[in-house]
Amino acid sequence: MTPTRAPWREQVRSVIHWEWTLLRDWPRLRWAVLGLVFVPAVYTLLSLSSAWDPASHSRSLPVGLVNGDLGASYRERELNLGAQVLDALEQAAQFDYRRYADAEAARADVRQGRLDFLLIIPPEFSRQAVPGEAPGAGKLIVYTSEGNDYFAAAFARRFAPEVAARVNAMLNEARWSLVLDRAAGSQKSLEALRQSLAELGQGAGELRDGVARARDGAQTLSRGSARATPALERLQAGSRSAADNGLLLAGGVRQLNGTLRAMESRRPADAEVQALRAGARTLAEGHRELGRNLELAQTGAVRLEEGLEALKESADGIPLVGGRLAEGAGQLRGGAGQLAEGLGSMREGQSRLAAGATRLDESVFVMTEGVMRSGAALTGIVSRLPDEARLDQFVSGLRELAAGTQAVSVGLEPLDEGLQGLQAGLKTLADGSVRLSSGLTLVLQALPGEVNVPGGSAPGMAASVEPVLQVQAPVANQGLALAVNFVPLSLWVGAVTAAFLFHLRRLREPTAGFARSAQVAGKLAIPAAVVLLQALLMVLLLRLGFGVELERPLAFAAVLASASLCFLSVVFLLVRLLGDLGKVLAVLLLIVQIGAAGALLPIQLSTPLFQTLHPLLPFTWVVKSFRAALFGAFDGQWLAPLGVVLSIGAGALLLAMLVGRWRVLAPAQWRPALDLD
């Protein structure tokens, strides 16, 4: 008999009721659920407490110190570098330092585990290290047992280069302070002298070069003056000749101007030339028309002669008057023949006359074009000829040119005398500058190059480089960095543990016919509440237990809550598909995600398999949203990866509704998933 279907909400409530009856009827199950709430927090507490800021506890590590250094004398100073090193180490108090007088006893304590590592300064340390004759001449011995404590041995490996760098800094500062104190005065005086001599030598060199250039210029000027004298004489003669010829040229231009203007005034107007061209064309056309009319008249005369011949022949047969008519027609026929011959002669003459008229037309066209063009050219020439005022200026300029060349020729004579005196003075100055430059060069070569002292202060030479670190989205300490891995891992463990406490594949018989969504919602209601409490307790643990500053507490809580629900959905899907084997697979998937999520090491350092799985696993996106919400990493964009986490959880939950079968149990068989009897 099929049970009556209740509303969906009532179905969910009924499933929750029967799940709650297990907690009500089995007290040990209630205690197990309460303990389950604390499982992730306890797991995180135990994991992070051992790794939270280990550097702050380094002072508890016992470290032995042995100073066997006998000291050394360096530049009239007594030094014991070993004693200074140990004093500096104890003042820094990085570890729990313990002094030993016997090196072998200290070695024995290291081997027996009473010391984590040991620093031994050999007897010849100062004598070998202070002079700095060779790299690594002074030896510092760090003695440790890696088998006793690998973590402490790691401290020893890091301690060795640190103490060596500190000793080198002390040595460099002391060494260079001594050198600078003795060399600073002489170095300054020597540098000032060298600088002054160098500037004086530079000035002498510039003087020598300037004198040489001046001598070259004076010689060039003298040669130019010598060449200019005959050239000026020729220029003077040419200017006088040009002035004389200019007068003649001006007169000729005036005559040419008058002649061209007269020709321009007498040339026919363009209208008259055009009328002549039109008359010649009309005459040629009239002769051609007359030739056509004469041709028609000649044709008519020939026809008239033929008609009269026919009339004569017809008139012979007419009685009485036929003879007279024939005689008259014969006379007329003769006249018509003579007319035809005359018209033919006239036509031949007319043809020759028409050809002549055509040639006349062509000649007149060419002639009129030439007349018009020559008139335009003549007008242009007349307009460009200079007027009387300009001709007078031209003549005056030629006369002034002749006078100027005469004055230049007179001025060249004192210039030659001055150039000779300048050359003599420059020669004497050049000889003196060469001797001065040579003497300064000898002085500079005799001075030492420099005092072998590096620049800078003693602390600067001891520590030439200072690193600058800029941190984005800083992490307070190593423990908080590890929390990125441990907190999601703990939440996953909490979700897997929930799968062990609750029947994720079993239903009680009255709920077997309910809607699949109602069954799933009711089945996951209590486990979901448990994992949400786990997430809340995790937030409180980090904030109150470890003192983590949460800039976005709501966002961080939302990330942990979403991660818990997503993990529960994935585990629920695995159990629905595989039963208890799904729980085992959930544990294996946890191990895979630890290496593939990139929480401990960059994913680029992992194997290709983990790099392939990296974007497919929920752990990856939980870690990314965790870092964004807690540290402000990825520019604080925590919603996008959180959306991927929710999508994975929703997809797993939807798939769990569609696959797998429930195991329906009778009321008598309805018991907790764990054997609590």
Burial of 648 (C-beta count, 10 Å sphere; 0-12/13-18/19+)? buried
Question: Given the DSSP bridges, would you call strands 96-100 and 62-67 parallel, antiparallel or unpaired?
Answer: parallel
Is it the case that residue 600 has pLDDT exceeding 70? no
Short-list 120, 121, 116, 98, CA closest to 156? 116
pLDDT at residue 462, rounded to an integer: 43
Give 360's contacts (C-beta < 8 A, 6+ positions apart). Answer: 280, 283, 284
Is it the case that residue 572 has pLDDT exceeding 90? yes
* Highest-scoring range by mean pLDDT, 460-464, 539-543, 585-589: 539-543
pLDDT digits (tens, 9 = 90+) for 65-117: 999 888 877 666 777 878 888 888 888 888 888 999 998 999 888 877 788 78
Q: At 647, list the tokens.
A: 């999508």
Q: At 429, list the tokens.
A: 């100055």
* Highest-scoring range by mean pLDDT, 104-113, 186-195, 510-519, 567-576: 567-576
Short-list 570, 587, 576, 577, CA closest to 504? 576
In the chain, how many H helices and how many E strands? 17, 8
Sign of CA dihedral 593, 599, 603, 605: negative
Per-residue pLDDT band at 274 (split at 50, 70, 90):
confident
> In angstroms, rounded to a whole number, what is the distance separating the alpha carbons of residues 607 and 601?
11
Is it the case that residue 212 has pLDDT exceeding 90? no
Tell me which amino acid residue 234 is.
Answer: R
Q: Are 522 and 14 in contact (CB under 8 A)?
A: yes
Average pLDDT score, the chain: 74
SS3 label, residue 593: helix
Q: Which residues pair with 144 in a beta bridge?
A: 117
Tell me which amino acid residue 159 is.
Answer: F
Q: Are 49 and 545 in contact (CB under 8 A)?
A: no
Note the CATH number of domain 57-148: 3.40.1710.10
pLDDT at residue 472, rounded to an integer: 55
pLDDT at residue 652, rounded to an integer: 93
Could you write out the DSSP letters of every residue in 379-398?
Answer: HHHHHHS--HHHHHHHHHHH
> In angstroms, rounded to a whole number, what is the distance separating the alpha carbons of residues 265 and 258?
11
pLDDT at residue 467, rounded to an integer: 42
pLDDT at residue 65, rounded to an integer: 92
- Residue keyed to tokens 């709920």: 511
Half-sphere exposure of 621 (CA within 13 A, CB side): 21
Give 280's contacts (C-beta < 8 A, 6+ positions apart). Answer: 357, 360, 361, 364, 365
Give 569's contacts (C-beta < 8 A, 6+ positions apart). Answer: 524, 648, 649, 650, 652, 653, 656
Is it the case that residue 410 has pLDDT exceeding 80? no
pLDDT digits (tens, 9 = 90+) for 368-404: 777 677 666 667 776 666 766 776 776 677 677 767 6
> In angstroms, rounded to a whole number, what is the distance separating the alpha carbons of residues 78 and 101?
22
Half-sphere exposure of 177 (CA within 13 A, CB side): 11
pLDDT at residue 1, rounded to an integer: 46
Per-residue pLDDT band at 337 (split at 50, 70, 90):
confident
Per-residue pLDDT band at 469 (split at 50, 70, 90):
very low
Residues in the chain: 677
pLDDT digits (tens, 9 = 90+) for 492-532: 999 998 888 888 888 888 888 888 889 899 989 999 999 99
Could you write out the DSSP letters of every residue in 520-568?
Answer: HHHHHHHHHHHHHHHHHHHHHIIIIIS----SSHHHHHHHHHHHHHHHH
Per-residue pLDDT band at 182 (split at 50, 70, 90):
low
Per-residue pLDDT band at 51 (split at 50, 70, 90):
very low
> In angstroms, rounded to a whole number, what is the distance separating the alpha carbons of residues 586 and 499?
10
> In angstroms, rounded to a whole number, what is the distance separating the alpha carbons of residues 201 and 228?
40
pLDDT at residue 133, rounded to an integer: 65
- Give the CA-trace dihedral at 22, 27, 33, 37, to 10 degrees: 150
SS3 label, residue 213: helix
> In angstroms, rounded to a whole number, what is the distance separating the alpha carbons of residues 559 and 626?
6
SS in 3 state form for 226-278? Answer: HHHHHHHHHHHHHHHHHHHHHHHHHHHHHHHHHHHHHHHHHCCCHHHHHHHHH
SS3 label, residue 142: strand
Task: Taking residues 612-638, report their average pLDDT.
Answer: 84
In the chain, the N- to C-terminal Cα span, in Å, equals: 35
Give 277's contacts (C-beta < 8 A, 6+ positions apart). Answer: 364, 365, 368
* Domain limits, the chain: 11-53+477-663, 57-148, 270-355
Is it the case that residue 310 has pLDDT exceeding 80? no
132 Ramachandran zone, left/alpha/beta (phi>0; psi -120 to 50):
left
> In angstroms, rounded to a whole number, what is the distance separating the alpha carbons of residues 630 and 483?
10
Is it the case that residue 465 has pLDDT exceeding 50? no
Is it the case that residue 463 has pLDDT exceeding 60? no
Q: State how far Cα 42 lies from the chain centre.
A: 53
Per-residue pLDDT band at 606 (split at 50, 70, 90):
low
Q: Looking at per-residue confidence, does 292 or 258 come out higher?
A: 292
Q: Which residues pair with 64 in a beta bridge?
A: 98, 118
Other CB atoms within 10 A of residue 391 CB? 19
